[in-house]
Amino acid sequence: MKKFTRLGMLAAIACMLLLSAGCPGKQIGPVDGGGEGLTDSTLPTLTGEALRAADELTNAKIYFEYDKFEIKAESRRVLARKAELLKQFPQIKVSIQGHCDERGTEEYNLALGERRARAAHEFLVYSGVNPTQMEMISYGKLRPAVQGNSESAWAQNRRDEFIVLNPRGK
In the prediction, which pLDDT does 113 show? Answer: 98
106-126 vs 73-88: helix crossing angle, rounded to 10: 60
Backbone angles phi, psi at 143, to 5 degrees: -130, 75
pLDDT in tens, 14-68: 544 444 444 444 444 444 444 444 444 577 888 889 889 999 999 999 999 999 9
User: Which whole-number Å values give the CA distances from 45 to 28, 67, 170, in the listed order?
Assistant: 27, 37, 9
pLDDT in tens, 117-162: 999 999 999 999 999 999 999 999 999 999 999 999 999 999 999 9
Report all structural domains of the chain as residue ranges with CATH numbers, in order of start.
30-164 (3.30.1330.60)
Q: What CA–CA distance (Å, rounded) separates 92 from 53? A: 9
Partner residues linked to 162 by β-bridges: 96
In the prediction, which pLDDT does 2 show? Answer: 54
Mean of the per-residue pLDDT values of the chain: 83
Q: What residue type is assigned to position 4 of the chain?
A: F
With 0-12 / 13-18 / 19 or more C-beta atoms within 10 angstroms meaning exposed / middle / buried, residue 103 is middle
